[in-house]
Amino acid sequence: MGKHRLVETSTSSSSRCVTASVHAVHSFEVTSFSLLEGMGAGIFVSSRTFRAGGRGWNIRVYPDGWKEEDKAEYVSAFLCLVDGPKDAKTRTKYTLELLQKDGKVSELTRCSAVMLSHTFEAVDSYWGLGKFVDKSKLKPLLRLNVDCFTVRCALTIIGESQSEDVAAPSVVVEEFPQPNMHQHLEHMLKTGKDTDVTFDVDGQIFHAHRCVLAARSAVFESELLGPMKEKAIEEPIKVADMEPSIFEDLLHFIYTDSISDSNNDVHDKNMFMQHLLVAADRYGLDRLRLMCEVSLCHGIDAQTVATTLALAEQHHCARLKDACLKFVASRRDVLGVVMKTDGFKHLMASCPLIVVEILDKIAEA
């Protein structure tokens, strides 16, 4: 019998909603307003008809208000549908605003000039603001504008909404390039282009970029961008108690976020990592400090464990200290070998209480 294989397939598609709209703006200037007062409530003057969305519109202004009950205290303003398709509902959004002489919206209607939404269902239907502007507050504006004011209508006619397919992007990326920012920074360090700070390490000069160092180390930030900034610009910064090779690798890490692999000798590498850990702790480079600590944990031997343990104690490296103590307690003959090294003498001189922890660890084993 033949074997049946299940083949899984998947598809992906998308669509979007698109709503058509038409925009129009019409301004209606009302002149000699004082002559229009007293016309009575419900009587209006209108703008010329303007067209938008295949329909005719005008702005109606009621000098004595729209309703009798308002006692002519307000000017009313409305948008009116003048002509258009019969039995066709027209959805709109619009504003009615009072303009100053400079064309800016007057504070008199700023609060009431909200976006209005209305569906006009028949010709000659109108909708707007019965209390468009308080007439008592309008008088100062009329004095400035020679008894005139302007009403502006910004109208949006909303059409039907339709769904349409969205084409999938045709760009296919087979493989993203590997991150290479560290390579560019390393090149910038090696070429020395646009360096602005200099270090003197035991007579050897190093050039670097203060913004890079400050971004990576809070200690460098304080030294290079703090109160001593001007002095650091004028003359080389002397770095004491550090070998030039260690400072060079410190800079390499700052620019590349990696440790140089130029040292392959196991013993020399162990010494190198010890010095680099001290430098990392000095400049607050926690990631480099941890990387050195991990490397030293893997390189512990009887000849170096004492110096490494002293280093771990002095620089508060809990992981490294625990690894060293476990190594010493791993076999009975290890402690005897360690005690004969110069490093153990240094350990006893610098950290005499550590012997108690060594004995406790041996007892636990």
DSSP string, 13-63: --EEEEEEEEEEEEEEEE--HHHHTTS-TT--EEPPPEEETTEEEEEEEET
Q: What is the pLDDT of residues 74-94, one digit of tens each?
A: 999 999 999 988 777 899 999
**Alpha-carbon radius of gyration of the chain:** 42
State the average pLDDT for the chain: 88
Q: Residue 318: which region, alpha, beta or left (left: phi > 0; alpha: psi -120 to 50)? A: alpha
Percent of the residues in the chain that have a pLDDT greater than 70, as a whole number:
90
- Provide the greatest CA pair distance for the chain: 117
Between CA 118 and CA 92 the distance in angstroms is 5
Distances in whole angstroms, Cα of residue 45 to Cα of each of 32, 41, 307: 12, 12, 99
Q: Residue 192: which region, alpha, beta or left (left: phi > 0; alpha: psi -120 to 50)? A: left
CB 66, CB 41: distance < 8 Å: yes
Between CA 172 and CA 292 the distance in angstroms is 41
Q: Which stretch, 25-34, 224-233, 298-307, has highest mean pLDDT?
A: 25-34
The two structure tokens encoding residue 183: 């390579």
Provide mean pLDDT across the span 160-168.
81
Q: What's the angle, vertex CA 193, arms to CA 191 and CA 199, rounded to 5?
A: 85
Between CA 116 and CA 130 the distance in angstroms is 13
Strand partners, 149: 30
Per-residue model confidence (pLDDT) at position 348? 87
At residue 170 the predicted structure's pLDDT band, cuts being 50, 70 and 90, is low
At residue 16 the predicted structure's pLDDT band, cuts being 50, 70 and 90, is confident
Percent of the residues in the chain that have a pLDDT greater than 90, as a whole number:
56
Which residues make Cβ contacts (< 8 Å) with residue 311, sequence separation at least 6? 274, 277, 278, 296, 317, 320
Please determine, for residue 231, whether its predicted confidence score (pLDDT) is greater than 70: no
For domain 180-285, give its CATH number from 3.90.960.10, 3.40.50.2020, 3.40.640.10, 3.30.710.10. 3.30.710.10
Per-residue model confidence (pLDDT) at position 227? 74
Per-residue model confidence (pLDDT) at position 88? 77
Per-residue model confidence (pLDDT) at position 274? 93
Q: Which stretch, 102-111, 265-274, 330-339, has highest mean pLDDT?
A: 330-339
Q: What is the pLDDT of residues 100-142, one digit of tens each?
A: 888 888 888 765 567 899 999 889 999 999 999 999 999 989 9
Strands 149-165 and 15-30: antiparallel
Q: What is the pLDDT of residues 140-152, one digit of tens each?
A: 899 988 999 999 9
Sequence ranges of the domains in the chain: 18-161, 180-285, 300-365
Q: What is the pLDDT of residues 174-186, one digit of tens each?
A: 676 788 888 999 9
DSSP letter at 105 equals B
Please determine, for residue 228, whether its predicted confidence score (pLDDT) is greater than 60: yes
Q: What is the CATH number of domain 300-365?
A: 1.25.40.420
235 burial class (0-12, 13-18, 19+ CB within 10 angstroms)?
A: exposed
Which residues make Cβ contacts (< 8 Å) with residue 178, sequence separation at least 6? none
Q: Which stretch, 2-6, 124-128, 331-335, 361-365, has highest mean pLDDT?
A: 124-128
Torsion of Cα atoms, 109 then 110 then 112 then 113, to 10°: 100
CB 119, CB 129: distance < 8 Å: no
Please determine, for residue 69, whether its predicted confidence score (pLDDT) is greater than 60: yes
Provide mean pLDDT across the span 339-350.
88
Which residues make Cβ contacts (< 8 Å) with residue 307, sequence separation at least 6? 274, 343, 346, 347
The count of other CB atoms within 10 Å of the CB of residue 31 is: 12
At residue 258 the predicted structure's pLDDT band, cuts being 50, 70 and 90, is very high
The yes/no answer on whether domain 18-161 falls in CATH 2.60.210.10 is yes
Q: Residue 105: which region, alpha, beta or left (left: phi > 0; alpha: psi -120 to 50)? A: beta
